[in-house]
Every structure is written in C-alpha cells, then in structure tokens.
Structure 1
Amino acid sequence: MQAYLPILIAVALLASGIAAGVLLWSVMGGVPLLLSLPAERYVEIHQFWGSRFDGLQPLLVSVTVVLGALLAILAPARPASALFAVSAVAALAVIIISRFRNVPLKRKVMRLDAHNLPADWEQLDPRRAWAAWNLARTVCGVLAFTVNVAAVSLLI
C-alpha cells in the first residue's frame, strides 16, 4: 500500500482542493448573488445551480474523508498522520452540515414553482439560514484542504 501513497496523496489534495474551491466560490459569489435577487429569480437560479453540483460535491468530500482516514493510517510521519486525520474529520463535518442543514433547505427550494411562490414566502425564505450553514461547511472544507496541504509539506 505504501507504493500507492503518492497517488493517494495527490487524489486527496485534488478532491479536497476542488471541494474547498467550490464551497469558497459559493460563499464569495453565489450567496451574495442569491441574497440580492428577487424571490422568483432566486428560486430559478438556486434550482439551476443545485442540479449541477449534486453529484460532484458529495463525491469530492467523501473521497476527502476516506483518503484522509486512510492517509492518517499510512502516512510515514506522525505529524502528517495527525493532519490527515484532521482533514478527514473536517470533511466529515462538511458532510454532516450538508446532510442535516443545507440539503433539507435546498430540497424545499428545489420543489418550489418559481412563478407561483407560497403567499408566506417572506417567512419561508431559506436564504439566510442556508447561507449561514453554507459558511460553516465552507470553513470546514477549507480547513480540510489546508491541513492536507500542511500534511504533504511535512512529507516532502
């Protein structure tokens, strides 16, 4: 398994880096845009974006968890091993926040008819809650990538 270590590390860096980048984009660009839109346009755009990231993000973050745990076991240096473990835990936090906070809010938006919003939309509008949880998982995702980079720097 040690022979595969460079490949596992490269894939872990790639997966965690892309996942962190997508999350960071959402905080810096996506959320501000969505918060500025009228309700109808918000629903349309959220539905458009939502259908594009559904397969990629869970895969990337899951790969980060699995490889982080595996690298925590296989890393030849104890400090790097600990950092890979932290990466796995941080990525697992992304999954937990997504599953129990962001995804339920997103599902509600995905079921809406943008041109026939509920009369009580002002009370139902999930944008602020979704943005707050998205920020929390973004911090965890960026942490996962950052500690992966730090772990690799200890190995070279």
Structure 2
Amino acid sequence: MNLSNGRIWPYAIAASIIAIFGACVATVFVANTLPVEKSDTYMMGYHEADAKANELLQAKILFEKHYKVEYVTQEFSTQKAVLSYKISDKDANPIDNANIKVVVTRPNNHKHDQELNNPKVQNGIYTFDSITLPQEGRWDIMAKVSVGELERFYNIKTDTRGMQAVEY
C-alpha cells in the first residue's frame, strides 16, 4: 500500500484525535487521585461560606465594635503546643464568659485535624490543654469566638519552625 499520494492525512488526523482523547482521560484520572479538599476557613464548606459571606463580615464588624480577640500563644511547636487567646472588651476589661472552639489543621489536608474545646480561663486568657502535632510545618488555627449573641471567626496561619503567626 502506497501512502505517499495523500492518503496518510486521514490516518494522522485519526491518530491525533485518539491521542487528544487519551490525554483528556489521563488528565481526569490524575486530577481525581490528588488530595484536594474543600476550603473551611469559617469551619464550614466553601459553598456555605460563600452564601453567608456578607453575614460573616457583618458579624465580625459587630463583634469588633464591642470586643477584641488576640492570639497570645508564646511558642507553637510539634511537642506540647499550648494555644492561648486573650479576649477583652474595648475598655481592656477581660472577658471570662466567652465560648471558643478551635480547630488545628494542616492547609488542604484534614487527616491531622484536632478540635479543642473547654479551655481554662483566667483573667480573660483562654488556654487550651497542650496538643502534639504529627509533623513539622505550616498549620492553620481556626477559632470561633462567641460572647453572648456576638461571634466571629479568628483564623491564624502559623508554623512549627518558629515563623510568625499571621491572621487571615
């Protein structure tokens, strides 16, 4: 069979279509095996957070008109990490009746999540029992702080290797 007289193009086009289809199937297969997890910046799925975005921002603004939250943890390490928050009113008076729920998590991976409840409270400083983290590196510390009807989310990015903690 002599393909030099122009009959090679249909075969080349068919081979290209099959190769492109194969690449698409491979892309979908590889993408489904990656450990992608939904965002939970506000301790809820991103669809719910997106739907409540205005409410969450208004709640934060209202909370901050009356109270102040500070992350006062001295050192964050993998061994015996102790988390502390200070809550005060706008006149710097300590608040001892707040409720705080904290989740310590790795970015984009919920395998090592640790939920902290029932802190010890002394003079407006809420201290949680020490935790042990399974690996070095970046961690997200997400807190939901409620005082009466007012509440806000206070999220921190920190690192066990001694880098500065930053609110996000």
Identify the structure with bigger relative contact order (alpha carbons < 8 Å, sequence gap 6+): 1
Higher-Rg structure is: 2
Query: Shared fold (TM-score greater than 0.5)?
Result: no
TM-score (norm 2): 0.22
Pick the structure with more strand per residue. 2
Q: TM-score, normalised by structure 1?
A: 0.24
